Amino acid sequence: RSNAEKFEFQAEVSRLMDIIINSLYSNKDIFLRELISNASDALDKIRFLALTDKDVLGEGDTAKLEIQIKLDKAKKILSIRDRGIGMTKEDLIKNLGTIAKSGTSAFVEKMQSSGDLNLIGQFGVGFYSAYLVADYIEVISKHNDDIQHVWESKADGKFAVSEDTWNEPLGRGTEIRLHLRDEAGEYLEESKLKDLVKRYSEFINFPINLWASKEVETEVPAEEDESAEEETETTSTEEEKEEDAEEEDSEKKQKTKKVKETVYEWELLNDVKAIWLRSPKEVTEEEYTKFYHSLAKDFSDEKPMAWSHFNAEGDVEFKAVLYVPPKAAHDQYESYYNTNKANLKLYVRRVFISDEFDELLPKYLSFLKGLVDSDTLPLNVSREMLQQHSSLKTIKKKLIRKALDMIRKLAEEDPDEVHDDDKKDPVDEYLMQYLMDYEDKKFQNVSKEGLQVGKDSKVKEVKEAFKELTKWWKESLASENVDDVKISNRLADTPCVVVTSKFGWSANMERIMQSQTL
Ligand code: ADP
Ligand code: MG
């Protein structure tokens, strides 16, 4: 195309795409849930913006927050379209050409050795899974702030972006056109797509519609030959009999026959009623498990260890579902230190607001996954304002209580499943960093410098007396071995002790971190 601008993929993306396109991985199905999940994210974004500015939604069909799936059997194209936020030219280049998230290269390595792509969505590279089934992809996108563009790539290390002058205008949103590989023909079957959406995208909160075929019988004028055998004129209802009578009356009787015809119409594939709005009594164990899988983007077969679904009433009203995952997330420790990453999704009156609210749970509970939907929080304010809202404190308090109840119950019912601080799942080290005091008494780490036990008036004196020795000691050990050498009053029988600095990691923490390194 004449106006196409060419780009090269970031090396890491190229490597990932190579692995995907050459993958013998059998579960290629996953691409659909990844694309639907992206469409849903994009719809969440525009719906959020619309809270403070209704005009962003546009008019007519453009304002419909939905996902549409269409098949073109002849051209072997599967397309997935949303009316979400869309992408500007810049977005297309940045989002579908580079990987912003860390940990991707570890994932690429792991995938190369294990060949398991199931976790791709958790690593922020789900889009590329489309190359499991397609060898050429076009992404047509229209963002409110830009004209319509087409991104395209054959997964050959390059992609191109052009101003779209030939496709039908989208209004707003994104259409992903997958030119399916020969061996991916099954994804041109409506039944296969229906099955996949039911299985993997059941909890998407926007309607997913399939342009589905339907066989209908229609009446068409019969041919001149009146003896046509197939002719079936059955008159069953009174009305039809009357009509027939009228027809008899008319001078020239028009004979008709029924023929089968294929027509297309949109068929809704999901039930958009949010699980957390239902009564806990009505939701089955299987539904909770499946909801967990979609929430955590964890599509293994494992069941969450425990969950708690409740409805808080009173001054601050909200509904919440909390889960204890079956195992630690791949980025558990990373997200622990990253303040912007919380594992709870916050909704206000069914509208997704953010999954980056670190105000909802204390860090020591950051391994939980879940969702909070509040009717009390205001809808038409910025995320920043919301973050300051006084109701959040109440929500947090109730969430902590419910979370601890859930864990306590789990410990009672299934003690083998809950590890304390033995050598297996070392949570104390993390917990103690944030647990500052207990009943007005401050905690101190005995393995760190500055331990204070009672008052010792002699310290000053001793310090002075050993000044030369500590100086000599410090110099002899050199700075890469120790930071400092100090007089301490903590020791009784031993002459010296090695401790860590006040704000650094303890030796145990270093051990934990080292064992986490991939
Ligand atoms: P993730 O969804 O985890 O961010 P993906 O690889 O699935 O990772 O998608 C990469 C990025 O591409 C998304 O973060 C988003 O910015 C953009 N994107 C993908 N699909 C769409 C879409 N349908 N509408 C708008 N943006 C999209
Ligand atoms: Mg995604």
3-state SS of 388-406?
CCCHHHHHHHHHHHHHHHH
> By alpha-carbon position, which residue is closest to atom 16 of ligand 1?
95
- 42 CA from centroid of ligand 1 (Å): 8
**What would the two tokens of residue 352 be?**
């997704």
What does the pLDDT read at residue 237?
52
How many helices (H) and strands (E) are present in the chain, helices listed first? 14, 16
> By alpha-carbon position, which residue is closest to atom 9 of ligand 1?
127
**Which helix (DSSP H) or strand (DSSP E) does residue 6 occupy?**
strand 5-8
List residues near ligand 1 (CB under 6 A).
34, 38-39, 41-42, 82, 84-85, 87, 95-96, 124-127, 174
- 189 CA from centroid of ligand 2 (Å): 24
- 208 CA from centroid of ligand 1 (Å): 18
Relative to the alpha carbon of 174, which ligand is closest?
1
- 35 CA from centroid of ligand 1 (Å): 8
Relative to the alpha carbon of 139, which ligand is closest?
1
Relative to the alpha carbon of 85, which ligand is closest?
1
The Cα–Cα gap between 115 and 16 comes to: 12
The model's pTM is 0.75
> By alpha-carbon position, which residue is closest to atom 13 of ligand 1?
95
Kindly provide the residue ranges of all beta strands, DSSP E only, lying in 105-255, ordered along the sequence.
134-142, 149-153, 158-163, 173-180, 208-221
Q: Which atom of ligand 1 is nearest to the CA of 128?
A: 6
Please classify residue 182 by burial: count the beta carbons closer than 10 Å to its beta carbon, then call 0-12 exposed, 13-18 middle and 19+ buried. Answer: exposed
> By alpha-carbon position, which residue is closest to atom 10 of ligand 1?
95
Relative to the alpha carbon of 79, which ligand is closest?
1
Relative to the alpha carbon of 127, which ligand is closest?
1
What does the pLDDT read at residue 231?
45
Q: Which atom of ligand 1 is nearest to the CA of 124?
A: 3
The Cα–Cα gap between 371 and 390 comes to: 19
- Residue in 13, 20, 38 to alter for ligand 1 test, most ligand atoms within 8 A of Cβ: 38
Strand-pair partners of 40: none
**What would the two tokens of residue 366 be?**
């950051």
ipTM over 0.95: yes
Low-confidence ranges of the chain (pLDDT < 70): 101-103, 224-253, 333-342, 417-424, 426-427, 456, 516-518
The Cα–Cα gap between 501 and 450 comes to: 8
Give buried/exposed letters for 274-299 (b at 16+ CB in 10 A, else e): bbbeeeeeebeeeebbbbbbbbbbbb
**What would the two tokens of residue 106 be?**
């570890």
**Cβ atoms of 406 and 307 closer than 8 Å:** yes
β-pairing verdict for 173-180 and 158-163? unpaired
Which residue is listed with tokens 């993997």? 200
Q: Which atom of ligand 1 is nearest to the CA of 38?
A: 20
- 341 CA from centroid of ligand 1 (Å): 18
The Cα–Cα gap between 206 and 249 comes to: 53
> By alpha-carbon position, which residue is closest to atom 23 of ligand 1?
39
Q: Which atom of ligand 1 is nearest to the CA of 80?
A: 23
**Cβ atoms of 412 and 405 closer than 8 Å:** no
How many angstroms separate the Cα of 156 from the Cα of each of 7, 32, 136, 209, 484?
11, 22, 10, 32, 56
> By alpha-carbon position, which residue is closest to atom 14 of ligand 1?
95
